[in-house]
Amino acid sequence: MSADLGALAQEALRVAVESVLGKLKEGKRLSTEDIFLLYLATISRELDEIRKEIAETNQRINETNKRIDEVNRRIDETNQRIDSVVQELNRRIDETNRRIDAITQELGRRIDETNKRIDGIYALLLDIQKLLMEIAKKS
């Protein structure tokens, strides 16, 4: 109903302005009401332009919001992929650390065995040296 009233008021204003323009063409003097009608028509036209600009701005805002939503969606997907890669890397690092620990333990065990063998060889060499000294003393 309000839209009908608005359209009716616009039409009444358009007819009144045409009447005032007719007076201007005839060179007649304009009354205060006539000037007021022209001023009102100008304001109405500017309001219509402002409404159109607001509608266009709202449309651009909506389009921008859609693009922002799309960028946010892509960021979320990228973050999910990054999280997946981080989890996989953490898993692989943990596996590598376990393998390094196992190798370290094995190398430590082997070094201990090698040290024991070296100690055994030194003991054997000392025994041989003592034996050689005893043989040398007897000769």
Q: Kindly report, residue by residue over 2-35, the tens digit of the pLDDT.
A: 667 778 888 888 888 898 889 889 989 989 998 9
Question: In the numeric block, which tokens belong to residue 80?
Answer: 């999910």
Q: Kindly report, residue by residue over 66-90, the tens digit of the pLDDT.
A: 999 999 999 999 999 999 999 999 9
State the pTM of this model: 0.56
First to last CA, the chain: 139
Secondary structure of residue 124 in the 3-state scheme: helix
Question: In the numeric block, which tokens belong to residue 134?
Answer: 């005893």
Domain parsing of the chain, residue ranges: 1-107
How crowded is residue 20: how many other Cβ atoms within 10 Å of its Cβ? 19
> Residue 126: is its pLDDT beyond 70?
yes
Radius of gyration of the chain from its Cα atoms, rounded to whole angstroms: 50
